Amino acid sequence: MSEKVWSVYLAGEIHSDWRERIEAGAREAGLPVAFTAPVTDHPASDDAGTGTLGPEPVKFWADQMGAGVNAIRTQTMIRDADLLVVRFGDKYRQWNAAFDAGFAAALGTPYVTLHDGELDHALKEVDRAAQATARTPEQVVAVLRYAIRGELPR
């Protein structure tokens, strides 16, 4: 009988290497996880609408077209996910990360937040609805390993 492959969606900040560190850590630990994520190539993400459906001169509508096309990807992946990791960086506002967390909370899908302590107060509602708040990608890997294998770091 084959082992369950956990589906983990990595939401939020796209300007640091946190996804790579989590994926590398999970690979090293041999965890059966299929990671998914929004498109993290920022220019491609911004052009998701006009690049697929054709030009739109007004920025607001171009953004709306892009957000719709991105949502096909992200909402499908979020609905498929067993768990989300939601990352907030110290730059940018990342409202879509908080949106994804709220979406997951209403679906009853568990999520882990990943951010520095200085954001704690601003993120208290988002953290409260999470199952865990991590400070480092390595802690997220430890949570995944425990959740899937029941093993703690030595």
Amino acid code (one letter) for 61: W
Angle CA 144–129–5, to nearest 5: 25
Rounded to the nearest whole angstrom, what is the least distance from the CB of residue 21 to its own copies in the complex? Answer: 15
Between 21 and 96, whose beta carbon lies closer to its own copies? Answer: 96
Rule CB under 8 A: is residue 58 a binding residue for its own copies? Answer: yes
How many residues belong to the site for its own copies (CB under 8 A)?
A: 87
What are residue 58's phi and psi, to 5 degrees?
-85, 125
Under rule CB under 8 A, residue 127 binds its own copies: yes
- Residue 16 is a binding residue for its own copies (CB under 8 A): no
Query: To the nearest whole angstrom, how small is the minimum distance from the Cβ of residue 81 to its own copies?
Result: 10
Compute the distance between CA of residue 37 and CA of residue 55 in angstroms, rounded to an integer.
26
Q: Which residues are 11's β-sheet partners?
A: 86
Helix (H, G, I), strand (E, B) or coil at 4: coil
Q: Which of 17, 20, 30, 64 binds its own copies (CB under 8 A)?
A: 64
What is the number of other CB atoms lying within 10 angstroms of the CB of residue 38? 21
Which residue, 10 or 123, is less far from its own copies as judged by CB? 123
User: What is residue 131's three-state secondary structure?
Assistant: coil
Q: Does 30 bind its own copies (CB under 8 A)?
A: no
Chosen residue from 30, 105, 116, 118 binding its own copies by CB under 8 A: 105
Q: Residue 55 interacts with its own copies (CB under 8 A)? A: no
